[in-house]
Amino acid sequence: MCPAVSPPYLNEGGVIDESLPIPLSPVMLDPAFNEGSVTTAPLPPLPPPPTQLPPPLNTYPRSNLLRERALRHPPRIPRLRRLNPQSANTAGDRPDYFVDLNRYNRYIQRSHNCVPGEKAVDLEDVCGIPISTRRTNGSGYMELDFEVLVDDGGQYSSSYGVENVLRNDSTVYCSGRSGAVNILLRYNGYAHSGIVSDRSCVVSHIVIKSPQYGFTAPCKDGLVFMSRHPIDVERSRIFDQFTREDFEQYMSHKSRFSSPEDDDTDPLAWFTLSKEKQMVIPIHDRSAKYILVKLLRSEFEADNIDLQYLGFVGYSGARYFSRGRLC
């Protein structure tokens, strides 16, 4: 690079002499500089745009293994069932596709409570006593047979009738209204044994079970009444709003001021179904012909009450003793 000043501009010793004229720079002496036009070399042409964009960050090509799995295990799509054309013609404006709620509820019931053919409750296991499968008269524990006389709770549908509570299987009773529900039962062992005198029994255990899954209103609290005579359901409605504390207070008062007239209208036991939805009530060999089970409330706030099973264990016929002695 040429210096901006010429060497004659400097004196000996490197001192600038200000009296001498300042020489012009070689760049300023260039004719192109004085003419005001500067020749520059042409710029190279721009490169053409890329034909393919680079792959975005954080993306990786799918492996063959994932593609093989996708082909080997395609997602399952649920299929809808089409109605029979003959039934569709009789159904009027019924849609071509529908969901049968009764069949769905029965499926949930079988899946979560017990399988078909299996008992809802193993009476020998929960009661802790041997139970005979043969009908005996006064000797040996057995499952007692009862029939429904009165039911004031209605039913949700024909598939959930009150008779289901006497079946030791997966069927469930669903009432058709809210509030306390009364189920009055009568012993009918004579209908199975054929013995005319088999019209009373001795109850040792009562088993109560609510459905565990698939139902919105499993029974939680209730009362049990027992008598050798018909029980007046209307007179028992004074206990419809009872709680466990009310029952304990009432029974404490009854033990101090009991009378023979109260046996047919007073409750015998209180039950609360816990997380297992099942309870065994020991009755200690009480003779009876009629049993009233009052369902007070469900576990959740609901418009009905659901109950799966009522089981009774004891002796068939009147209880007798092999020998006695007068004192």
Nearest-CA neighbor of 152 among 180, 133, 128, 125? Answer: 180
Within 10 angstroms of residue 34's Cβ, the number of other Cβ atoms is 9
Residue 190: phi and psi, rounded to 5, are -65, -25
- pLDDT-based confidence at residue 75 (cuts at 50, 70, 90): low
* DSSP of 31-46: HHHHHT----PPPPPP
Measured CA to CA, the distance from residue 210 to residue 216 in angstroms comes to 11
For the segment 248-269, what is each residue's pLDDT rounded down to a tens digit?
999 998 888 765 555 567 899 9
216/304 Cα distance (integer angstroms) = 9
pLDDT in tens, 119-171: 889 999 999 899 887 665 556 899 999 999 999 999 999 999 999 999 999 99
- Which tens digits make up the pLDDT trace of 14-57? 566 666 666 656 655 666 555 555 556 677 787 777 676 666 65
pTM, 2 dp: 0.62
Q: Report the chain's mean pLDDT, rounded to a whole number.
A: 75
Name the pLDDT band for 308 (thresholds 50, 70, 90): very high
Q: How confident is the model at residue 220 (pLDDT cuts 50, 70, 90)?
A: very high
Q: Which two tokens stand for residue 215?
A: 């139902």
pLDDT at position 324 is 43
pLDDT band with cut points at 50, 70 and 90 for residue 284 = confident
- What is the rounded average pLDDT of the residues 172-188? 95
Mean pLDDT of all residues in 173-179: 95
